[in-house]
Amino acid sequence: MHLTSEHLHDDGVLERDFTVGEIPGTLWTPASTPAPLLLMAHNNGLPRTDARLVARARFHAAELGYAVASVDAAGCGDRPRSAAQEHARAEFRRAMQSGGPSDEVFETFIGPLVEQAVPDWRTALDALLALPEVDGPVGYSGWAAVGIRLAVSEPRIAALGLFAGGYVPQAQREEARQVTAPLLLLLQWDDEGNPRERALDLFDAFGSTQKTLHANPGGHLGTPWFEAQDQGRFFDRHLR
């Protein structure tokens, strides 16, 4: 791991950008370390610098005492993309603007993105756990499709806090039955970008014996801030 920058915030959180090979990432650590690690990913490959993700990461580090890491995995954020990836992304955006993607459009875009991203997340995890200020066990928060694949391929993931997305590739919908880690799934009841019934079916499919669904009224960006506190209590139960 190569550290490229660092900034100490007034709340005591140390924010550091790093690279692991070609993988760029950011690590937020609280004032008191070592701390349990949360991996945090945004939906559909949005960059780790997105303001909403940064706010969540800072909160979990400053208020809840977790080390939080996010990366721009292959095909995500500012990472280089092939012409085929750019075409699939453009088709997906057009479909979302016109009422939602067909299964074919969605699978073409998201399926390969998950396949390419998860190996980068696992590589980053190896490097992060080698740091003295980062400790296990490890939790994952965010993008459901990547979280499912990580949970079935990475035994170090001990708990999952996922944002419900009805548009989860078929491969991950099937893999959800293999997930046994404790799960908290957040669902926006009126999410204009994710069909509610698909999200409920996904929750039902998870193999976890400890799984909880929190549903709130409102659209995609309307998740109440108190859910971050509830997610913190969830991770406290399973990671501390």
Domains (range + CATH), the chain: 2-239 (3.40.50.1820)
Give me the pLDDT at residue 136, please.
84
Contact status, residue 17 vs residue 55, Cβ threshold 8 Å: no
Could you give the 3-state DSSP secondary structure of residue 178? Answer: helix
Indicate the average pLDDT of the chain: 91
Pull the structure tokens for residue 208: 């976890």
Give me the pLDDT at residue 29, please.
98
Specify the DSSP element, H or E, that contains 214: strand 211-216
Give me the pLDDT at residue 166, please.
58
Q: What is the end-to-end Cα distance of the chain in Å, rounded?
A: 26
- Is the pLDDT at 222 greater than 90, yes or no? no
Q: In whole angstroms, give the CA distance from residue 22 to residue 41.
A: 17
Q: In whole angstroms, give the CA distance from residue 31 to residue 9.
A: 10
List helix spans (H) across 192-225. 196-205
CA dihedral for 82, 25, 125, 139, sign (positive or negative): negative
Altogether, the residues listed in the chain come to a count of: 240
Considering only CA atoms, which of 23, 28, 21 is closest in space to residue 6?
28
Give me the pLDDT at residue 91, please.
85
Query: What pTM was estimated for this model as a whole?
Result: 0.93
Q: In whole angstroms, give the CA distance from residue 38 to residue 31.
A: 16
Pull the structure tokens for residue 170: 């078929």
In this structure, how many other beta carbons lie within 10 angstroms of the beta carbon of residue 81? Answer: 16
Contact status, residue 176 vs residue 202, Cβ threshold 8 Å: yes
pLDDT digits (tens, 9 = 90+) for 105-132: 778 888 888 999 999 999 999 999 999 9
Q: Can you tell me the mean pLDDT for 59-75? A: 95
pLDDT digits (tens, 9 = 90+) for 130-184: 999 999 889 999 999 999 999 999 999 999 999 986 578 899 999 999 999 999 9
Residue with token string 């019934």: 197
List helix spans (H) across the chain. 51-62, 83-97, 103-129, 144-153, 170-175, 196-205, 226-239
Give me the pLDDT at residue 167, please.
76
Give me the pLDDT at residue 79, please.
87
pLDDT digits (tens, 9 = 90+) for 200-221: 999 999 999 999 999 999 988 8
In this structure, how many other beta carbons lie within 10 angstroms of the beta carbon of residue 21? Answer: 11
Picking from 16-20, 102-106, 177-181, 224-228, which range would have the lowest pLDDT averaged per residue? 102-106
